């Protein structure tokens, strides 16, 4: 009998080990640590990769590799003739993830949808402020002007939600496909509030997405497992690992060595080596992005457009782009939006390199010193902030302006840069979230985005009037005309130095299938498979 039991135990152990061996693990070399795992509170692409695009779902989703929305948690929706009321019908039977720290007792319903948005604007909601997280801001919700346009969210029944607007908003449906609009669990939030552990909501996420959170080793590794009850079907990948690797060359070396399966944002200098390796595929596409440098337009003499134009003219942009992007490729930015986006104004041109003219203006303005900010991270729109700062510093020195380079790590860099009294010039950039021009113009330079994502603290009445009018009509030709005029105002006022629209790359091992690049800068792992 004992021999039989021993044999049975050995057989069971062998079976378990065999199952573990057959589990598919995908390792993604990510470029930065997430600020946290709550997509409503974060703004970085790496934050969203680690939370929204793995753990959560939205009412509408963007199709893989495109900007068109398709059903997500909402199977269908209707929009009233006046454009003020959106009615969403939720997919039945959507399961929240079950983990060792949360056991859901019900499926997703309208209460979760209403709560997900209410917490982002309702000051009376206990999840809106410092009771949840210190110094909490809802940058995307505010930056997208949602407080202005949303009158109310309301539950019609368990599977029906109604959104009422204060006035028509043409980009609204696309906005709801963005990461900040991820739907969270009200039941989980209620449990944490009752237990006094509200901060866990941002460190131990619960959603309805394709993968569920397992654990996070700070600045090192994030582990996920396939959500077995995902409403679109369990993923082929069993385990998803984020290996956090800030150094771009180290990321690519890990992929070439087989330690990682996918890595984004290679160094331009590594492109040739990658192309020569037969074990990997170099994926690329034109990025829906912009690299730029914001001037704080509230601090003299940067409050004068002629000074900002002169600083732009002092930069040898062509040489700067060649040095930064090398063989990776980038298109000089004439406008805030890339030329692949509708409403791009071909008649608007960025400031031309003219150091002699620049020097006269800057001397007359008495500008002798300036702060020039640079982060430690690689971004698709700027592969080397520090190198860019050094080259700009050298150009400005030629016209008599001494630039002090200010460095911070990525998370602190953005938080410090948002401060309204931040001096000098701040390197930053943007990858479009939804394919609509509003996502560039309003998100980055609307008056309401000051202190959020408007790093120039720039509020211009003419520009503001044009972009607000463009939101109110669904006529794309009229919207294009208004955005075209807004680009003229932007160029005239020069709140920023426009650098480039970059080509975007990802390195993928050839045994990986189903991974797609996305113009919105999204790294998604649903639908991905791996041959062992």
pTM of the full structure? 0.84
Residue 120 DSSP SS3: helix
pLDDT at 328: 84
Looking at the DSSP bridge assignments, the partners of residue 405 are: 372
Alpha-carbon dihedral 195, 199, 202, 204, rounded to 10 degrees: -50
Helical segments of 156-197, H only: 172-175, 186-195
Gap between the Cα atoms of 505 and 275, Å rounded: 12
Position 13 scores a pLDDT of 35
| Nearest of 389, 473, 387 to residue 425 by alpha carbon | 389
CB count within 10 Å of CB 101 equals: 13
* pLDDT at residue 377, rounded to an integer: 83
Phi first, then psi, for residue 331 (nearest 5°) are -100, 125
CA distance 430 to 43: 10
Q: According to the model, what pLDDT value does residue 253 have?
A: 96
Q: 52-69: per-residue pLDDT in tens?
A: 999 999 999 999 888 899
Q: Does the CA dihedral 517-522-526-532 come out positive or negative?
A: positive
Residue 519, pLDDT score: 85
Q: In the Cβ-directed half-sphere of 15, how many Cα atoms lie within 13 Å?
A: 6
Q: Could you tell me which of 246, 202, 161, 156 has the C-alpha nearest to residue 56?
A: 202
- pLDDT band at residue 521, thresholds of 50, 70 and 90? confident
pLDDT category at 17 given cuts 50, 70, 90 is very low
pLDDT at position 2 over 60:
no
Contacts of 346 (CB under 8 A, 6+ apart): 339
Residues 92-119 pLDDT 10s: 999 999 999 999 999 999 999 999 999 9
Structure tokens belonging to residue 19: 């199952």
Cβ–Cβ < 8 Å for 308, 295: yes
- DSSP tag of 54: H
C-beta separation of 490 from 290 below 8 A = no
Measured distance CA(90)–CA(77) in Å, rounded: 9
394: nearest Cα among 314, 332, 301: 314
Residue 11: strand, helix, or coil: helix
Q: Report the 10 Å Cβ neighbour count for 78.
A: 10
- Please, which pLDDT band fits residue 45 given cuts at 50, 70 and 90? confident
The angle formed by the CA atoms of residues 474, 477 and 480, to the nearest 5 degrees, is: 95
SS (H, E, C) 264-333: ECCCHHHHHHHHHCCCEEEEEEECCEEEEEEECCCCCCCCCHHHHHHHHHCCCHHHHHHHHHHHHCEEEC
Burial code of 368-407, b = ≥16 C-beta within 10 A, e = fewer?
eebebbbbebbbbbbbbbeebbbbbbebbeebebebeebe
């Amino acid at each position: 009998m004992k021999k039989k039991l021993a044999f049975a135990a050995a057989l069971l152990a062998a079976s378990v080990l065999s199952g573990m061996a057959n589990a598919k693990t995908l390792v993604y070399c990510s470029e930065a640590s997430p600020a946290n795992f709550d997509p409503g509170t974060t703004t970085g692409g790496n934050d969203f990769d680690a939370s929204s695009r793995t753990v959560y779902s939205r009412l509408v989703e963007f199709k893989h590799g495109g900007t068109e929305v398709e059903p997500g948690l909402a199977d269908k929706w209707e929009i009233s003739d006046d454009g003020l009321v959106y009615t969403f019908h939720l997919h039945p039977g959507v399961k929240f993830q079950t983990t060792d720290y949360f056991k859901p007792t019900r499926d997703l319903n309208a209460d979760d949808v209403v709560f997900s948005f209410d917490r982002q604007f309702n000051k009376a909601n206990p999840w809106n402020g410092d009771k949840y997280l210190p110094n909490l801001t809802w940058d995307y919700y505010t930056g997208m002007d949602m407080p202005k346009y949303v009158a109310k969210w309301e539950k019609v029944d368990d599977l029906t939600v109604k959104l009422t607007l204060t006035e028509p908003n043409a980009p609204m449906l696309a906005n709801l496909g963005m990461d900040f609009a991820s739907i969270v669990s009200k039941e989980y939030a209620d449990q944490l509030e009752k237990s006094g552990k509200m901060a866990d909501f941002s460190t131990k996420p619960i959603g309805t997405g394709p993968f569920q959170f397992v654990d996070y080793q700070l600045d090192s590794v994030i582990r996920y497992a396939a959500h077995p009850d995902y409403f679109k079907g369990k993923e082929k990948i069993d385990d998803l690992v984020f290996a956090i690797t800030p150094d771009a060359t180290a990321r690519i070396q890990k992929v070439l060595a087989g330690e990682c399966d996918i890595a984004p944002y290679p160094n331009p200098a590594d492109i040739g080596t990658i192309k020569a390796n037969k074990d990997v595929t170099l994926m690329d596409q034109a990025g829906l992005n912009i690299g730029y440098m914001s001037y704080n337009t509230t601090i003299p003499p940067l409050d004068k457009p002629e000074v900002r134009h002169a600083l732009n003219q002092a930069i040898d942009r062509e040489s700067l782009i060649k040095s930064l992007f090398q063989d990776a490729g980038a298109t000089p930015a004439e406008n805030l939006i890339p030329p692949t986006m509708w409403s791009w104004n071909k008649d608007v041109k960025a400031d031309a390199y003219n150091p002699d003219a620049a020097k006269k203006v800057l001397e007359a303005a008495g500008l002798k010193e300036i702060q020039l900010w640079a982060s430690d991270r690689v971004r698709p729109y700027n592969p080397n902030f520090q190198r860019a700062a050094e080259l700009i510093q050298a150009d400005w020195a030629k016209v008599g302006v001494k630039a002090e380079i200010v460095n911070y790590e990525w998370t602190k860099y953005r938080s410090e840069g948002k401060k309204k009294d931040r001096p000098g010039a701040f390197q930053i950039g943007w990858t479009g979230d939804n394919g609509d021009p509003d996502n560039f113009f309003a998100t980055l330079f609307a008056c309401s985005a000051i202190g959020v994502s408007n790093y120039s603290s720039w509020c211009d009445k003419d520009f503001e009037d044009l972009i607000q009018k463009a939101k109110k009509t669904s006529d794309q030709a009229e919207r294009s005309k208004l955005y075209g005029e807004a680009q003229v105002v932007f160029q005239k006022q020069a709140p920023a130095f426009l650098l480039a629209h970059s080509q975007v790359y990802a390195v993928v091992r050839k045994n990986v299938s189903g991974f797609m690049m996305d113009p919105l800068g999204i790294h998604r792992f649903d639908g991905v498979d791996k041959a062992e």
